[in-house]
Amino acid sequence: MKKIKSQNSKAEILLRRSLWKQGFRYRILNSKIAGKPDIVFLKNKLAIFIDGDFWHGFEWEKKKKNLKSNLKYWIPKIERNIQRDIEVNNLLENQGWQVLRFWEHQVLNETENCIIKIKAFIS
């Protein structure tokens, strides 16, 4: 678990570099904003999260059945992460923020589509 990075993942860096190349300026990992978004557009009040597929439960109901070890640890941990993501979304939206969440595989495989969605929120 020590080797798992909580920030600056490949997906985060890829999306940030792509946005920067297109002229977008943003802030990263702003701890003053609930949930500590990966990318923040303060002027537009847009918070962007890039969620790891395993850690945040992509297709969780399927994957939960395939877990082989330490089920008493992983199932509650990931389900709590999913619940926390929902709570953070609701909190930020109540504060007037727009929230975008991308799965890690979306950013890695469809970066341009992610940028198109971000542009739609900023424009």
Cα-flanking dihedrals φ and ψ of residue 103, to 5°? -80, 150
Q: How far apart are CA 33 and CA 88, in angstroms?
A: 10
Q: Which one of 3.40.50.460, 3.30.70.1290, 3.40.960.10, 3.40.50.10310 gives the CATH number of domain 10-122?
A: 3.40.960.10
List pLDDT tens digits, range 74-92: 888 989 999 999 999 999 9
Q: How far apart are CA 86 and CA 17, in angstroms?
A: 27
Is 60 exceeded by the pLDDT of residue 24? yes
Structure tokens given for 1: 């678990």
The residue with greater pLDDT, 76 or 15, is 15
- Torsion of the alpha carbons at 49, 55, 58 and 62, rounded to the nearest 10: -170
Is 80 exceeded by the pLDDT of residue 6? no
Amino acid type, 104: E
DSSP string over 58-97: TTHHHHHHH--S-HHHHHHHHHHHHHHHHHHHHHHHHTT-
Is 90 exceeded by the pLDDT of residue 118? yes
